[in-house]
Amino acid sequence: MGIEQKQVTRRGAVALALSAGLGLTGAHGVADSWRGTIDSALGTTSTEQTADDKFTPSIASTDDLVKAHEDLGRRVGQEGTVLMKNEGQALPLAKGAKVTLLGMGSMYPFLGGKMGSSITTEDAVDLVSALEQGGFDINPTMTSIYETLGAVEDTSAVNPTPWMQSVAYKYRPAGFATPYVPNEPSFDTYVTEGGASEDFASSFAEYGDAAIVVISRPGSEGSDYYPGAAGIDAETYGTKNPLGICTNERALIQLAEENFDKVIVMVNSGSTMELGDLKDDPKIAAILNIGFPGAYGTLGIADILNGTVSPSGCLADTYAVDTAMAPSSQNFGSIKVADTSMVTWPDSLMGAMGTDIAGGFLGGENSTASAYYVVEAEGIYTGYKYYETRYYDSVTGSGNATGAAGASNGASSWNYDDEVVYPFGYGLSYTTFQQTLDDVQVNADEKTVTAKVTVTNTGSVAGKHVAQLYVSVPYTDYDKKAGVEKSAIQLIGVAKTDELKPGDDQQLTITADLYDMASWDSSAKGGKGGWILDGGDYCFVLAEDAHDAVNNVLAAQGNGAAGDASLVSIKPIGSEGTVDESTLAKSKNGTEIENQLADADVNYYQPGYATPLSRSDWNGTFPRTYDDLTIGGDRQEEWVRNLCCEEYQITKNGEVTDVNGAPAGLTLSSLAGDDNIDDAQWDKLVDEIPVDTLFAKIIKGGSQSDVIPEIENPVVYQNDGPNGFGTTLAGRGLHTDDANANYVLNTMANETTIASTFSEDIAKSWGELLGNDGLWSGNYLLWGAAANLHRCPYNGRNFEYYSEDPVLSSLMSARTVEGALEYGIIIGPKHFAFNDQETKRAGVAPYMTEQKAREGELRAFRASFEDSGALGIMTAFGRVGATPVNGSWGLLRNILRGEWGFKGLMSTDMVNNPGYFRPETCIYGGVTMMADFSTDETLTDVQESWPYMTHDLIASDATLVEYARQNMKYQLYAFAQSAAQNIKTVRVTPWWEMALNGATVAGYGLAAVFGALYVRDAVKGAHDATEAKEEK
């Protein structure tokens, strides 16, 4: 071969080798853009994680951590148990007393709820063990009977869902929205199935110092109680409501009264029960409300019974004579529009997960689409705000308050004493206290109310006392014309003393938020809406409970009620006849506050359909059951669009740039601690993420947030539980060799019991303990501190929420959130918002006025975000009006992120239907992670449920992509401020990248070899040519 031929050949080889190298370099770039997808397909990883502790626990060892759980749980039992009755100082009992326990709940008390809120630690202390540790001698005959009955399984009653299977006498299976009914066994069952002899009562004589009868009602996600005949067969159970005392429970009480001089009743329930007969029964000496006490709360209950501590709990709800007569109970449960065909889903979104919008899994059915609704016509008048306001008006003779509408037991007129058994805030002690209202200051500039209170122990034993501060605001002619409702009394702050010995006193300071006593007026500011303060006298009142507060106000106003006027401070705000729209016109971050939820009201779609309850005419506006709603009218198209979750429709509105990401050299750890979300670096960080990856990570948010290789973020595990992390200390592979590795952390009492402590200190301590739990177990995100309100006693999930009162709920949730945040642990309050029932919860439309929304549930949530800086939130399954919560721009973007300044991550509740949980709607609303629990997180996996979510379609909608990038920025920002930064993520090279690198190097190497040969041949060829020329 000649020199010239060699040069041509080698030139081609060089070009080929260079092309290979350059091609492989280009392939390397493409592979880098698709790194996550390649890793997922090949089962490789491009990152690894190591510890880099930026947050550290304050509890030094797991032994100390377990002890902290026991100590705080016991304290909640001591301070959250409410003494409702104590005739003749029946309690405390003498230590060493011989006691008989009666009722299945005595052997198998509900320590927590069901499904996600159960107490699962093996260290949990049941009631029998707690009482024995408290020095009591317990009747073994009865505990043996109940233990035997607890092993009896009624297979006909077992729930078909495997993880909810249960035995018949321990508790009634949930049945997912099947109404709960009492399940106390009869005495005949003691003999036929419990192994008892006919004369089991003969054992009472030896254990006759007292009988403790435990009355229990369970609670669970996915299930409700129903009022009246819809919820129970009165003839079979001997009670007209499932929250009343049933035949077998009355038989237990009667048996106790026939055999014991001292009968004590314990109420072990997550819902308020009807206790009027027990209160009035002279043979019942004492009643204790113990709620769901958690793993260690029973120890605190024993401390109360034996007198180690004096009870100091207060009721977080009103206990009514007839729960079915509450205004909210008139519209509850399964109600649907007549024509369901108008709100059906496209075939492409039906049945992908075996369900449709009605709920399917955990609270619905599979036959109809988004047809279910509840008209919350009670407005602001839930709980004590109804009972105490109507009482106030009955005393002052206004508003037809004594009319028959809403009266219990068919009475011809409404009378407070026939309606309320125990008021909100009520609770007895073994000692007595005197309290004085020393000073009240209203600071309009700082938007606060500050009260100073002195509490003195005037009794003979040590104890703690709760100072409760209420306000009574003017109800004016303007309000009546504008449709602004006012509660006669509302809680604005609480403070709890230390344990005071007899004769000791303590001054407390209560600081309240002016926003919490303002009224929402949708017509204010020329129809824009906003908070108002009517000009007039504001009565700030110190009280023992809500009813005491009203009586104190009535006394101060000269209405002759049996109250104490000295505990009322009357402060003029503005001048009579004026309306202040400016003081609270902006939120604390300076955002203008305006109407955002006008379409939450059913009257927005069907003007005049519903009449909200008004204190201007109690009798004429008491709610009817709104079960005849039809979809139509001038806004029908908008209505149907909202019901079908079409808040956002994907359109080709602009091609997306940088679909494969725009590398900027940033990682999440490089922005750790950067608390300025407006820093342009955050946008650059998010822009590094390929669009397909971005959407896959949001839509498949699942039970953990996985690594995005382009930004090297850590895996963040999510945990869901009202009573703590439902995992062991070794749950994430940490401390597996520790003696406490298998200790389960979800030990706390239910939220209602925590709220019953009325202690911000306990709520904060619980948050701090959660912070330590998270750091020890490697869990940095918990869905908890739920601030939904107890709208209706029949919500089977009320135990997961604090109270019927928004301010008490707000205080408890906010303190828990901030306690955990001190340790970098994100507590995400849920279910935002209006998760008022479990029945049809996935898609039910709760219609309400904006005043109800603002002064109720939104007030309960606000402080956790605006004041405590929460970095996470979980949205509700349902809607706000017809609009799915996840697509409500007004609720999520304007109120939550705008007014309250929320900068954190936002998760949906569990994705159980692709028609309802539409990704484009969720992303439009601001969701940062959809709770789809699939472990596959690619766009291909997304298309299994939402086949239309293709790369090309997404890339054509620049607006939706921008929303997604904004949402992801919030999520990453939250992680960067949290203990998730205790995990350091670093890039590693998987085998496929090594192979690609090797091939690239080889390509360039060959190019270099052939290039050298080419140069040599070229030089040699030139030399030979010169020699040949010279020879010529």
Domain at 188, CATH number: 3.40.50.1700
Residues 36 and 153 in one domain: no
Residues 895 and 945 in one domain: yes
Res. 1001 pLDDT band, cuts 50 70 90: low
Would you say residue 395 lies in a domain? no
C-alpha count within 13 angstroms, C-beta hemisphere, residue 129? 10
Q: Is the pLDDT of residue 958 over 60?
A: yes
Q: Please give the DSSP secondary-structure letter assigned to residue 409.
A: G
Res. 988 pLDDT band, cuts 50 70 90: low
C-alpha to C-alpha distance for 862 and 874, rounded to whole angstroms: 14
More confident residue, 344 or 262: 262
**What's the pLDDT score for residue 750?**
95
Lowest mean pLDDT among 55-64, 361-370, 412-421, 952-961: 361-370
C-alpha to C-alpha distance for 775 and 773, rounded to whole angstroms: 6
Closest CA to 644 of 845, 929, 835, 841: 845
Res. 974 pLDDT band, cuts 50 70 90: very high
Taking only the tens place, the pLDDT of each residue in 291-304 is: 999 999 999 999 99
Taking only the tens place, the pLDDT of each residue in 324-344 is: 999 999 999 889 888 777 776
Lowest mean pLDDT among 19-33, 332-346, 453-467, 511-525: 19-33
Q: Is the pLDDT of residue 385 over 50?
A: yes
Would you say residue 628 lies in a domain? no
Q: Is the pLDDT of residue 710 over 70?
A: yes
pTM of the model as a whole: 0.90
Q: Is the pLDDT of residue 181 over 80?
A: no
**What's the pLDDT score for residue 339?**
77
C-alpha to C-alpha distance for 194 and 149, rounded to whole angstroms: 5
Taking only the tens place, the pLDDT of each residue in 596-654 is: 999 999 999 999 999 999 999 999 999 999 999 999 999 999 998 999 888 999 999 98
Distances (CA, A) of 157 to 111, 171, 176, 186: 22, 10, 13, 17
Domain boundary among 296, 312, 328: 312
What mean pLDDT is reported for the chain? 88
Domain boundary among 563, 595, 627: 595
More confident residue, 440 or 577: 440
Written as one string, the DSSP assignment of 652-668 is: --BPPS-TT----S--G
Res. 348 pLDDT band, cuts 50 70 90: low
Closest CA to 647 of 639, 656, 655, 636: 639
Res. 13 pLDDT band, cuts 50 70 90: low
State mean pLDDT over 543-558.
Answer: 98
Q: Is the pLDDT of residue 367 over 70?
A: no
Structure tokens at 920: 């484009």
Written as one string, the DSSP assignment of 533-585 is: EESEEEEEEEESSHHHHHHHHHHHTTS--SS-GGGEEEEEES-TT-EE-STTS
**What's the pLDDT score for residue 731?**
76
Taking only the tens place, the pLDDT of each residue in 792-817 is: 999 999 999 999 999 999 999 999 99
Q: Is the pLDDT of residue 502 over 80?
A: yes
Residue 675: Cβ within 10 Å count = 11
Res. 121 pLDDT band, cuts 50 70 90: confident
**What's the pLDDT score for residue 365?**
41
Q: Is the pLDDT of residue 265 over 90?
A: yes
Res. 30 pLDDT band, cuts 50 70 90: low
511 backbone dihedrals φ, ψ, rounded to 5°: -110, 120
Q: Is the pLDDT of residue 728 over 60?
A: yes
Q: Please give the DSSP secondary-structure letter assigned to residue 61.
A: S
**What's the pLDDT score for residue 1005?**
61
Residues 706 and 575 in one domain: no
What total of structural domains would you count in the chain?
A: 4
Residues 284 and 201 in one domain: yes
Residues 1006 and 971 in one domain: no
Residues 21 and 87 in one domain: no
Beginning with the edge strand found earlier in the chain, give each strand of the sheet holding 826-828 in spatial order: 704-705, 716-720, 781-783, 826-828
Residue 467's domain spans which residues?
A: 425-595
459 backbone dihedrals φ, ψ, rounded to 5°: -100, -155
Q: Is the pLDDT of residue 363 over 50?
A: no
Residues 93 and 18 in one domain: no
Q: Is the pLDDT of residue 287 over 50?
A: yes
More confident residue, 262 or 14: 262
Euclidean distance between the first and the last CA atom of the chain, given in angstroms as a whole number: 23
State mean pLDDT over 393-408.
Answer: 97
Q: Is the pLDDT of residue 538 over 90?
A: yes
State mean pLDDT over 297-324.
Answer: 98
Q: Is the pLDDT of residue 169 over 90?
A: no
Lowest mean pLDDT among 153-157, 248-252, 334-338, 698-702: 153-157
More confident residue, 1018 or 973: 973
Lowest mean pLDDT among 556-560, 829-833, 921-925: 556-560
Say which amino acid occupies 762. I
Cite the DSSP H helix spans in 786-906: 806-821, 850-855, 857-866
Would you say residue 322 lies in a domain? no
DSSP, collapsed to helix, strand or coil, labels residue 508 as strand
Would you say residue 59 lies in a domain? no
User: Tokens 């190497």 correspond to what residue?
Assistant: 1005
Would you say residue 866 lies in a domain? yes
Res. 1008 pLDDT band, cuts 50 70 90: low
Residues 566 and 686 in one domain: no
Would you say residue 172 lies in a domain? yes
C-alpha to C-alpha distance for 324 and 577, rounded to whole angstroms: 39
Would you say residue 404 lies in a domain? no
Residues 778 and 854 in one domain: yes
Taking only the tens place, the pLDDT of each residue in 761-797 is: 999 999 999 999 999 999 999 999 999 999 999 999 9
**What's the pLDDT score for residue 985?**
57
Domain boundary among 259, 284, 312: 312
**What's the pLDDT score for residue 171?**
46
User: Tokens 């405390």 correspond to what residue?
Assistant: 92
More confident residue, 483 or 167: 483
Would you say residue 223 lies in a domain? yes
State mean pLDDT over 657-663.
Answer: 91
CATH number at residue 972: 3.20.20.300
CATH number at residue 482: 2.60.40.10
Residues 517 and 579 in one domain: yes
Taking only the tens place, the pLDDT of each residue in 129-158 is: 999 999 999 999 999 999 998 877 544 443
Distances (CA, A) of 57 to 194, 827, 855: 48, 16, 37
Residues 198 and 252 in one domain: yes
Residues 33 and 178 in one domain: no
Q: Is the pLDDT of residue 752 over 90?
A: yes
CB 611 within 8 A of CB 595: no
Q: Where are the beta strands (DSSP E) in 892-942?
A: 905-910, 929-931
Written as one string, the DSSP assignment of 205-219 is: TTT-SEEEEEEEE--
Q: Is the pLDDT of residue 176 over 50?
A: no
**What's the pLDDT score for residue 823?**
98
C-alpha to C-alpha distance for 493 and 510, rounded to whole angstroms: 6
607 backbone dihedrals φ, ψ, rounded to 5°: -50, 130
Q: Is the pLDDT of residue 991 over 80?
A: no
Q: Is the pLDDT of residue 162 over 70?
A: no
